[in-house]
Amino acid sequence: MMIGSPLLSIEHISKEFYGNVVLHDVSFDLQRGEILGLVGENGAGKTTLMRILFGMPVISDTGGFQGTIKIAGNPVHFASPFDALDAGLGMVHQEFSLIPGFTTTENIVLNRESMHPSLLNDVFGDRMSILDRDKMRERAKKAIEKLGVEIDPDMLISEMPVGHKQFTEIAREIDREQTQILILDEPTAVLTETEAEVLLKTLKRLAQEGIGIIFISHRLQEVLTLADRIIVLRDGHVVQNVPNQELGIRDVASWMVGRSMKETEIRSEPRSFSQIALQVRHLRVDMPGEAVQDVSFEVMQGEIFGIGGLAGQGKLGIPNGIMGLFPASGRVELKGKSVPLNNPAKALSMGMAFVSEDRHGVGLLLDESLEWNIAFTGMQIQGQYLKKILGNLFSLRDEKAMQALCEEYIQLLDIKCTSTKQKAKELSGGNQQKVCLAKAFSLNPTLLFVSEPTRGIDVGAKKLVLDTLHHYNLDFGTTIVISSSELEELRSICDRIAIVDEGRIAGILPPTADISEFGLLMSGSRVREAIHG
């Protein structure tokens, strides 16, 4: 080993998925005993980078990557995560990979158990050895001690608080003698504040023992407290790689979200509104992965209201909860009339419509024709596209009216399809999104919720979809509430933008507000900054 060469160096790594560049010429080094804070928005390329580092099969399945990874100066190539483990990389995932029915000890030494040879070894080989439970317990204890926490080595994982599970995962990585590099992906996301503090202390102590740590978190305050060096990824580029000296949370926040303002044109001039369209009070939504804790806000009549924030913070839970798709509680009023929650039919018939973020799961009937997709909700809720037969006894689908409606929207939104009878699954992502919009528009809603309108569609279609929404608002005065992870998109068409963090609204800003303001709200540092700064 060359003295002085960094523990891990990443050199010129690029990666694309089907022509979509997610990492572009990423290079950085990790020294022995250094803690590297890696920050970036969702989709900045953090996860892909870690997957490459860990030799995950998904990378080689999609065409591999360019660039080299060196450990202690030697180029390495990992064909699978096992190679990475052997080379001394340890990874602590956001989701726990522990066996709930096993004890702490068993989880920590899993697959590396200490063993006694037994008589059967002569015949059947090592697999017939007997576990040396005392030794295993010793090892587990030692690993836990190293972390500076107290966990009962004989406790079952299923009975542990989440914090302890997180520590068990780290202990497992440390128990491997060869582990020199530890990667933690959002380790504090599930921890309470005190647990998070203990974890940060532990990591510092590990670093002092010479282990290199890559710490990924969107909580900027933690990163600033912990890291020796901060790397900011944005759209697959390393935009900053600086030592953590005299950095303010504001700087990091603006590096993380900021594109130059030239790229974003803010279309709506400041408008003023007088009437309240939607009033939400103490909304709580139990949507898995997007839980909303306690949200109150107003949307004005005729406004485009944006809801932003990082993934998993609850911005998608708000529209899903109001539209009755997930269990919700609280008070919602549409133009002064109370909206019953947990009742999609009622929400729709009161004049609200919803374009779901889950296009394939909720938004479309993939196996049915475009006519069905666009007309169905109007038929069920408003009784449209039905014709009476046998003297009003019975009503049937009016296929002609459905076709006319469908043709109208195909023309209006420029949906590329072979006919109105084409199945929804055969369209491209962007055109499918237009079908979802057409379905919502055909209800003539007074309030339209749109979730992640541009997720998974290409750049050209993105612009079209946003333009469509913008014009729809201008032409019909429809109030629109857009939830999106793409801040730039929200800033380009919204009148006001609420940023959601940990299930609560962190603040509401005008689109012209400084980019760092948004970054601050997203990283949940509004309160904490006040304390530290």
Partner 1 sequence: MDRLKTFIQDFGWPRIIIFLFLVSLFIMAPFVQVRIDASISDVLNRFGQNAIMVLAMVPMIQSGCGLNFGLALGLVSGLLGATLSLEFELIGIAGFLGAIALATPFSILFGWFYAKLLNKVKGEEMTIAMYVGFSFIMFMCILWLILPYSNPTMIWGYAGKGLRTTISVENYWLRILNNFLAIRIGEFFIFPTGLLLFVGLFAAMMWLFLRSKTGTAMTAVGSNPQFARASGVDVDKMRTISIIISTFLGAVGIIVYQQSFGFIQLYTAPSPMVFPAVAAILIGGATINKASMVNVLVGTILFQGLLTMTPSVINSILQTDMSEVIRIIVSNGMILYALTRKVKVSK
Rounded Cα–Cα distance for residues 489 and 41 (Å): 14
**At a CB cut-off of 8 Å and minimum separation 6, what does 187 contact?**
92, 94, 166, 170, 199, 215, 217
198 binds partner 1 (CB under 8 A): no
Question: For partner 1, which residue of 4, 270, 288, 383 counts as binding (CB under 8 A)?
Answer: 383
Rounded Cα–Cα distance for residues 190 and 204 (Å): 20
Angle 103-83-25 from CA coordinates, rounded to 5°: 120
| Total residues in contact with partner 1, by rule CB under 8 A | 33
429 binds partner 1 (CB under 8 A): no
Phi and psi, residue 16, nearest 5°: -130, 145
What is the closest distance, in whole angstroms, from the C-beta atom of residue 148 to partner 1 in the complex? 46
Part in contact with partner 1 (CB under 8 A); list of ranges 36-44, 368-376, 404-412, 447-455: 368-376
* R_g of the chain computed on alpha carbons: 27
- List the beta strands (DSSP E) in 5-93: 8-17, 20-30, 35-39, 66-71, 74-76, 89-92
Question: For partner 1, which residue of 366, 404, 412, 513 counts as binding (CB under 8 A)?
Answer: 366
| Matching residue, tokens 């590096």 | 255
Question: For partner 1, which residue of 224, 381, 415, 482 counts as binding (CB under 8 A)?
Answer: 381
397 binds partner 1 (CB under 8 A): yes
Nearer to partner 1, 165 or 439 (CB): 439
Rounded Cα–Cα distance for residues 189 and 93 (Å): 11
Question: For partner 1, which residue of 236, 363, 453, 524 counts as binding (CB under 8 A)?
Answer: 363
252: closest CA among 264, 260, 244, 262? Answer: 244
Part in contact with partner 1 (CB under 8 A); list of ranges 29-37, 87-95, 308-316, 365-373: 365-373
Query: How many CB atoms sit inside 10 A of residue 108's CB?
Result: 29
Q: Which burial class, exposed, middle or buried, applies to 399 when counting CB atoms under 10 A from its CB (0-12, 13-18, 19+)?
A: middle
Question: For partner 1, which residue of 96, 102, 376, 476 counts as binding (CB under 8 A)?
Answer: 376
The DSSP result for 115-160, as a single string, is: EE--TTHHHH-GGG-EE-HHHHHHHHHHHHHHHT----TTSBGGGS
CB neighbour burial string for 431-452, b if at least 16 within 10 angstroms, e if fewer: bbbbbbbbbbbbbebbbbbbbb
Q: Which burial class, exposed, middle or buried, applies to 220 when counting CB atoms under 10 A from its CB (0-12, 13-18, 19+)?
A: buried
- List the beta strands (DSSP E) in 137-261: 181-185, 212-216, 229-234, 237-243
Nearer to partner 1, 82 or 394 (CB): 394
Part in contact with partner 1 (CB under 8 A); list of ranges 83-91, 264-272, 296-304, 340-348: 340-348
Question: For partner 1, which residue of 12, 205, 425, 463 counts as binding (CB under 8 A)?
Answer: 425
What is the closest distance, in whole angstroms, from the C-beta atom of residue 480 to partner 1 in the complex? 18
Task: Pick out residues in 237-296 that bind partner 1 (CB under 8 A).
Answer: none
Nearer to partner 1, 341 or 381 (CB): 381
Asked if 364 and 436 count as a contact pair (C-beta separation under 8 A), the reply is yes
358 binds partner 1 (CB under 8 A): yes
Part in contact with partner 1 (CB under 8 A); list of ranges 75-83, 252-260, 360-368, 471-479: 360-368
What is the closest distance, in whole angstroms, from the C-beta atom of residue 376 to partner 1 in the complex? 6
150 binds partner 1 (CB under 8 A): no
Question: For partner 1, which residue of 80, 178, 380, 419 counts as binding (CB under 8 A)?
Answer: 380
Part in contact with partner 1 (CB under 8 A); list of ranges 25-33, 348-356, 460-468, 525-533: 348-356
Query: How many CB atoms sit inside 10 A of residue 529's CB?
Result: 17
Part in contact with partner 1 (CB under 8 A); list of ranges 69-77, 90-98, 211-219, 338-346: 338-346
- To which H or E segment does residue 490 belong? helix 487-493
Question: For partner 1, which residue of 49, 140, 325, 438 counts as binding (CB under 8 A)?
Answer: 325
What is the closest distance, in whole angstroms, from the C-beta atom of residue 354 to partner 1 in the complex? 7
What is the closest distance, in whole angstroms, from the C-beta atom of residue 364 to partner 1 in the complex? 7
Rounded Cα–Cα distance for residues 389 and 309 (Å): 51
Question: For partner 1, which residue of 188, 221, 356, 431 counts as binding (CB under 8 A)?
Answer: 356
181 binds partner 1 (CB under 8 A): no
455 binds partner 1 (CB under 8 A): no
What is the closest distance, in whole angstroms, from the C-beta atom of residue 399 to partner 1 in the complex? 8
Question: For partner 1, which residue of 116, 282, 360, 471 counts as binding (CB under 8 A)?
Answer: 360
Part in contact with partner 1 (CB under 8 A); list of ranges 25-33, 160-168, 295-303, 391-399: 391-399
372 binds partner 1 (CB under 8 A): yes
Amino acid at 44: A
Amino acid at 404: A
What is the closest distance, in whole angstroms, from the C-beta atom of residue 378 to partner 1 in the complex? 9
323 binds partner 1 (CB under 8 A): yes
3 state SS of 70 = strand
What is the closest distance, in whole angstroms, from the C-beta atom of residue 85 to partner 1 in the complex? 34
Task: Pick out residues in 32-61 that bind partner 1 (CB under 8 A).
Answer: none
Angle between helices 133-147 and 193-208 (to 10 degrees): 100
Rounded Cα–Cα distance for residues 153 and 139 (Å): 10
What is the closest distance, in whole angstroms, from the C-beta atom of residue 349 to partner 1 in the complex? 7
Binding site for partner 1 (CB under 8 A): 323, 325, 344-349, 354, 356, 358, 360-368, 372, 376-377, 379-381, 383, 386, 394-397, 425
